[in-house]
Amino acid sequence: MNGFLPVSKKDMEELGWDQVDFAFVTGDAYVDHSSFGPAVISRVLEAHGFKVGMIPQPDWKDDSSITVFGKPRLAFLVCAGNMDSMVNHYTVSKKRRHNDSYSPGGVAGKRPDHATVVYGNLIRKTYKDVPIIVGGIEASLRRLAHYDYWSDSMKRSILLDSQADLVSYGMGEHSMVEIAEALDSGLDVKDITFIDGTVYKTKDRESIYDAIMLPSYEELKEDKLEYAKSFNIQYENTDPFTAKRMVEPYKDFYVVQNPPSKPLTQMEMDDIYELPYVGTYHPMYEKDGGIPAISEIKFSITSCRGCYGGCSFCALAFHQGRIVQARSHESIIREAKQMTENKDFKGYIHDVGGPSAEFRGPACDKQMTKGVCKNKQCLFPKPCKNLKVDHSDYVSLLRKLRKLPKVKKVFIRSGVRFDYAMADRDDTFIREMCKYHVSGQLRVAPEHVSDNVLSLMGKPSNDVYNAFVKKYLKINEKLGMKQYIVPYLMSSHPGSNLEDAIILAEYIRDIGYMPEQVQDFYPTPSTISTVMYYTGIDPRNMKKVYVAKSPHEKAMQRALLQYRNPDNYDLVFEALNKAGRQDLIGTGEKCLIYPRKQYGKKTGTKNGNNGKKGQNTKFSNTGKNSKMTKNFNTGKSVKIGNSKNKKAGKRR
C-alpha cells in the first residue's frame, strides 16, 4: 500500500476491510498531496474514522469501472478533479488541448467532458439507491444555474444534471465531515438539508426557511438581465457570517443553497495540512511516466487559503471565500523540515503561499465576526482604510524557512499582490523578496493598462502598477541585482474594445516587451466577468458593458498584444485600420507594423525600440508555449500544456 489509500479490492482486503464507507471517484489521477482536493477530503474523512477507497479516472464508457469496491456503506463522492474538466480539456478558442498534467504521462482524454455529470450518471445507473455527493471546483462553481461558455447556454444546477443528492461547495472539510457523520448516524440523505456549505433539492417549499428566492431557471433562460440580478445576489451571499439561504425554483422542485461553511481556524488548518499525505502520485503511474502536475507543487507549501483581492475574472470568492485563513509558522516549518528529508529535494522550496503569497490573515478584524462587506472590496478601487496592511508575519516566516538546514533558496511563486505591497509604507518585504526570493524574474499580474478595463476587472489603476515597477527596479538597483518583471496581460476582457487593446499594444511597445504568452479572457463558471461576457451587463451596477464576443475580434485583440509576430500581421493591420489608428502603421519609431508594401522583409513587423529587439528593456519574455491555469482548490497554478518554462509562476 505504501501509505496510499486503497485503489483496488485487493488493497481493501489487505487492510482487512469488507467494505469502504466512501468510494471516491475523481477525474484526476490519484495524487496524495495536500494541493489536491480529493487527497485532502479523503484524508480528513480517514482522520475521522471513515474508510475511503479511491477510484481515479474510471472508464466512463464501462459501467463496471465504478464497482471497484462494490457498494460503499455510506456514499459515493464525486469530483471532476482539481480543475473544471472543460477548462482542462479546451482552450479559450474551444480547441481541444493535447496534454493533461493531472493524468499519467500528461496524456489527455482520461476523463470525460463535464466529468462530474458523467460520473454521477454512471454511478446512478449502477447503484440506484446509494447517496452521491459531488464536490470540487467543477461542482462548486456550478452549484446553481450558470452560464456554460462551451455550449453557450444556461445550464441547470449541477446537482440536477449529475443526479447527485448533495453538492458540497467551497473548501469542503467542514461540510464533508458533517455529511459523513449524518449518514453514519443513519440519517437518510434526503433529510440532510441543514449543513452549511451544501446544496440540496426539495419539493417542499414550506420546509425552506429564512431564504432569498432567486429567479427561476426558466426566467434565467428567458432573460439575461435576470441572470445578472441573480448572480449579484449570489455574489453578495458568499460570506459565511452574513450569507442567507438561497432558493432557485425549477418546474417541479427547488434547489436550495445553504450558507457557506465557516472558515477554518488556524489549528484546523494546521491539522489538515499535517495529515499523513504520501506527498506524491500513486506508484501505479510510474510505468506511464508519472503525473506531470506534481513537479510544480511537490516542494511547495500552502501557507494560506482565501483571497480578498476581488478580481472580477477570478472564482476564488465563490469557492475559497474572501476571508484569508493561514497556517501557523510552526506547522509550515514542520512541513518544510520534512520536505528537506525527501531524497529528491535539491535545496529549493518552490513556493510558500496560496491564492496570493503574502496574505496571512483576514483583511480586517471585523471579518471573523461580522463577515466581509457586501458592496465594498478590500483593495479595489483603493485599499480600504480598515485594511490591515502588514507584511511582517510573512517576512518572519520566510526568514525562518531560509535558515533551515539543507534549504538553499525559498521562492515566491504564488504571485505578489503589488497593490497590497504598495499599500505598505515599510519596504522590508519588497526588499527581502528581491534579495532572497526572486530568481531573475518576478511575475505580477497588472492584466491591462487601460483604467477603463482595469475598473471592470476589479484591478487597481495603472498608476499603482507603474509605481510598483519603479520601486521594484529601484530596490534591485540598490541591491546591485539585475532582475526583471514579467507582466501577465489579458486580452478581450469585457469592457476592452479595439482602442483599449491598442493602448495595451503601445504600452508593450514602449517597455520593449514581447509577450510569448497572452491570456485571452476565458469565461469560466461563476465569475463576475463571465456574467458580463454573457449578459453585456455588469451585475454589480446593472450598467451595460462592451463585450468582444466574435472570435475574429477576440483574435484581433490578442494579435495586438503580439504585434511583432509576423503571423499576426494581417490581424494587426485590420485592427489598426478599423480603429482609425493608421498612424501606427509605418516606419516611425512609434509604429507597430510596417506598411503592406514593406511587409515581407525578414522581420515582418516593427518592434518598437527603433527595430532593435529588447533594447534597454527592464522586462523579460516568458517561456515559449507556457500555458498556466489556476487550481482553485489550492490557489496554485499548474501547467496544462507543453512548456519550456519550468519556473512558471502562479497567477494572481
- Span 480-522, pLDDT tens digits: 999 999 999 999 999 999 999 999 999 999 998 888 778 999 9
Band (1; pLDDT cuts 50, 70, 90): low
Contact 572, 592 (CB under 8 A): yes
Evaluate whether 356 touches 420 at the Cβ level (below 8 Å). Answer: yes
Collect all residues with Cβ–Cβ distance below 8 Å to 119 and sequence separation of at least 6.
Answer: 25, 27, 58, 60, 66, 78, 80, 112, 162
d(CA 619, CA 489): 13
pLDDT of residue 23 exceeding 70, the answer is: yes
Which residues of 50-118 form beta strands (DSSP E)? Answer: 52-56, 75-79
Q: Say whether pLDDT at 534 is over 50.
A: yes
Average pLDDT on 274-288 reads 97
Q: Is the pLDDT of residue 422 over 80?
A: yes
Please choose, from the candidates 330, 348, 266, the residue with its C-alpha nearest in 3D space to the C-alpha of residue 304: 266
* Mean pLDDT (whole number) for 443-472: 96
Buried b (16+ CB within 10 A) or exposed e, 48-57: eebbbbbbbb
Residue with cell 496524456: 107
**Domains along the chain with CATH numbers:** 9-257 (3.40.50.280), 299-437 (3.30.750.210), 440-621 (3.30.750.200)
CA distance 537 to 650: 29
Query: Is the pLDDT assigned to residue 645 strictly greater than 70?
Result: no
Strands 543-544 and 537-538: what pairing?
antiparallel
Rounded Cα–Cα distance for residues 532 and 549 (Å): 11
Nearest to 446 by CA among 492, 504, 502, 501: 504
Give me 229's grid cell: 440580478
Q: Which residue has the cell 529549493?
A: 348
Measured from the Cβ of residue 107, the count of other Cβ atoms closer than 10 Å reads: 13
* Distance set, CA 216 to CA 146, 164, 249, 251, 545 (Å): 12, 20, 5, 8, 24
Element (H, E) at 325: strand 325-326
Note the pLDDT of residue 514: 84
How many residues make up the chain in this entry?
652
CA distance 604 to 516: 17
As a whole number of Å, the CA-based R_g of the chain is: 25
Q: C-alpha distances in angstroms, 288 versus 10, 106, 283, 631?
A: 22, 9, 10, 23
Give me the pLDDT at residue 465, please.
Answer: 97
Residue 435: per-residue pLDDT:
97
Question: Can you give the pLDDT at residue 411?
Answer: 96
Taken in order 341, 346, 347, 352, is the CA torsion positive or negative? negative
Q: What is the structure's pLDDT at 517?
A: 76
Find the mean pLDDT for residues 349-364.
Answer: 94
Supply the DSSP string of 271-324, one letter for each residue. Answer: HHHTS----SB-GGGGGGT--TTHHHHTTEEE-EE------TT--HHHHT-SS-
φ and ψ at 593, to 5 degrees?
Answer: -135, 160
Q: Where are the beta strands (DSSP E) in 546-612?
A: none
Whether the predicted pLDDT of 642 surpasses 60: no
In this predicted structure, the answer to whether residue 625 has a pLDDT above a threshold of 60 is no
pLDDT for 2 equals 81
**Residue 599 — pLDDT band, cuts 50, 70, 90?**
low
Contacts of 597 (CB under 8 A, 6+ apart): none
pLDDT tens-digit profile of 298-310? Answer: 999 999 999 999 9
Whole-model pTM: value is 0.90
- Is-cis flag, bond preceding 381, omega within 30? yes
φ and ψ at 304, to 5 degrees?
A: -155, 170
> What percentage of the chain exceeds 90 in pLDDT?
87
pLDDT of residue 28: 98
Beta strands, E only, 343-433: 348-349, 351-353, 409-410
Q: Read off the pLDDT band of 55 (50, 70, 90).
A: very high
Q: Return the pLDDT at 600.
A: 53
What pLDDT, on the 0 to 100 scale, is given for residue 586?
95
At 634, the pLDDT band (50, 70, 90 cuts) reads very low
Q: Is residue 620 exposed (0-12), middle (13-18) or buried (19+ Cβ within 10 Å)?
A: middle
> Which cell numbers in the block locate residue 58?
474510471
Distance CA 376, CA 88 (A): 32
- What is the pLDDT averaged over residues 123-128? 96
- The string of pLDDT tens digits covering residues 292-344 is 999 989 999 999 999 999 999 999 989 999 999 999 999 999 999 999 999 99
Task: Report the alpha-carbon distance of residue 171 to residue 166 in Å, rounded.
Answer: 15
Whose cell is 511583432? That residue is 564
Q: What is the mean pLDDT of the chain?
A: 91
Instruction: Please list the residues that pair with 491 across neighbouring strands.
Output: 520
CA distance from start to end of the chain: 38
